[in-house]
A = this chain, B = another copy of it.
């Protein structure tokens, strides 16, 4: 018997609340688990994934067949596709996370007060992390492993297109947790594809969810940012700028600009706008634009650039502040570093910006005054990545100003508390 819509909605709400309650309960156990126990779980999960490769690929084949029938194709389908090598990479990533330093229990700071009190700021787990993602099944394991290693419980809500694959991977996770005596509820996979499940998760499930991490395209992230009643670690867009100052070394600038745009055009750290100092436009504009074009990039430029390099296409107003995620770049002349800062303040997305200059004072001004999560000097914006920062792994990049900003690695998935050690101190009146 089919349920009426209102009954289904109630079912989903109560199912999700139960998941939240179990996550909160399990979060106490994973928070107190030793580093060795957590690492053993991660290694067991990797072993389970390898042992279950056939099951996982069979489930993935069912998902792909369903996507084919629904007409889902292209890059979305490609990202959903697993093969033996990709399954091995998922297991390997889990082992890599086991090797990272456990942040829980770290003393971030410690000091003594004149009355003898010893105060330490110590890292603790955050609690329960909700991860909402789209087609990539590797997120199921990567996100769970990062959350676990930092002592957190995780609630995973993957895309409906890959639910069979995610469930096959989840078996490996649950059995790995139980093998070391941790509750399987420390990682839970939402078992329904109902869209209302996302809505419920975004409410925070009566305070059981501490933070939401969306992994996916702009429409998913936008929905999460708009609807979430709990903190969100995310970036909506990576509209990254490179400013080539008049005091730049042109060869360095050319190499960095081409790399920042063209190494991979689909990542959030790819440059989308090139700003060139008007004072050196006569010398810089043509070689920079030509180098981009020779690398296969479409250049959309303002009139001042096109007057110097007529092969550039005309930019429209919409091109400033657009995340092309493609071999397209917008190019504009600006009046020095202040002009670049003004343009970025207006059109940027607070993700990553880079200045190319040999003038230390100009670089310092840019680094101090540019209010983005990552600001760079003489380096490619494509380094905006937790792995490149030495964090080992990241669950995403955040452009918000609270708690986590920039790459979200293990440390950013922790909180802290104060540990005060006394010898009988009482507070004077």
Contacts and interface: CB of A to CB of B under 8 A. Distances in A.
Given A389-B119, A422-B376, A28 B345 contact: yes
Q: 3 nearest interchain CB pairs? A: A379-B422, A259-B426, A403-B403
Interface string A417-429: 1111111111101
State the number of copies, please.
Answer: 2
A99 interface: no
A410 interface: no
A369 B417 CA distance: 11
A267 to B, nearest CB: 10
Residue in A229, A256, A426 with the greatest tally of chain B CB atoms within 10 Å: A426
Given A124-B371, A389-B119, A402-B210, A383 B415 contact: no
Interface of A: 28, 31-32, 105, 111, 113, 117, 119, 124, 126-127, 210-211, 229, 231, 249, 252, 255-256, 258-260, 263, 345, 367-369, 371-380, 382-383, 388-390, 401-403, 405-406, 415-427, 429
B378 A422 contact: yes
A183 to B, nearest CB: 16
Contacts of A417: 371-375, 405-406
A354 to B, nearest CB: 8
A331 B402 CA distance: 39
B375 A420 contact: yes
Contacts of A378: 421-425
Contacts of A419: 367, 375-377
21 contacts: A28-B345, A28-B371, A105-B368, A119-B389, A124-B401, A210-B401, A229-B229, A263-B426, A263-B427, A375-B419, A375-B420, A376-B419, A376-B421, A376-B422, A377-B422, A378-B424, A378-B425, A379-B420, A383-B427, A388-B427, A406-B417
